[in-house]
């Protein structure tokens, strides 16, 4: 009797573990598929001393990856203070940055490299990220 109960308990516990593992695996696979479907990659050019496009729009909650090419002769980078984005990109290089779009609003994009030009040139490197409701 005791043995049977123990065995039953073990089988039940094992089933539960298997069930949990398979459902977790299923969920993460589904999540990956969704990300691949809706993650647009927007090509952005940073140069000496500006952004193209200078306005980027995305819907709140939609995933967005910026593929940033530095076509300038100086090192630049993307800095979005309010979103915690700060990544440099050397001249001639390409980086990808994923943007957190959970908060709607207007965010200033700046150059992350204060030494990319003189103070005026660097200060002019502004673009706008619009996350709409
Ligand atoms: Cu710069």
For the residues of 5-58, what is the DSSP string, one character each?
HHHHHHHHHHHHHHHHHHHHHHHHHHHHHHHHHH--EEEEEEETTEEESSEEEE
**23 & 49 share domain:** no
How many structural domains is the chain composed of? Answer: 2
**21 & 48 share domain:** no
Cα-to-centroid distance, 125 and ligand 1 (Å): 6
**55 & 22 share domain:** no
**84 & 128 share domain:** yes
DSSP 8-state class, residue 82: G
**9 & 66 share domain:** no
Q: pTM of the prediction?
A: 0.70
**59 & 118 share domain:** yes
Per residue of the chain (133 residues), what is the pLDDT tens digit?
Answer: 455 666 555 655 555 445 545 555 555 555 555 555 556 899 999 999 999 999 999 999 998 999 999 999 999 999 999 999 999 999 999 999 999 999 999 999 999 999 999 999 999 999 999 999 9
**54 & 107 share domain:** yes
Cα-to-centroid distance, 7 and ligand 1 (Å): 67
Cα-to-centroid distance, 85 and ligand 1 (Å): 15
Cα-to-centroid distance, 102 and ligand 1 (Å): 27
**53 & 85 share domain:** yes
């Amino acid at each position: 009797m005791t043995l049977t109960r123990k065995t039953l308990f073990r089988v039940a516990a094992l089933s539960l573990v298997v069930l949990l593992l398979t459902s977790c695996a299923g969920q993460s696979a589904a999540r990956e598929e969704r990300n691949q479907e809706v993650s647009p990659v927007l090509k952005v050019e940073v140069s000496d001393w500006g952004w193209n496009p200078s306005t980027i729009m995305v819907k709140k909650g939609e995933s967005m990856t910026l593929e940033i090419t530095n076509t300038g002769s100086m090192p630049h980078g993307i800095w979005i203070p309010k979103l915690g984005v700060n990544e440099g990109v050397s001249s001639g290089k390409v980086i990808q940055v994923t943007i957190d779009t959970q908060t709607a609003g207007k965010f200033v994009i700046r150059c992350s490299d204060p030494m990319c030009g003189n103070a005026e040139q660097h200060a002019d490197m502004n673009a706008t990220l619009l996350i709409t409701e």
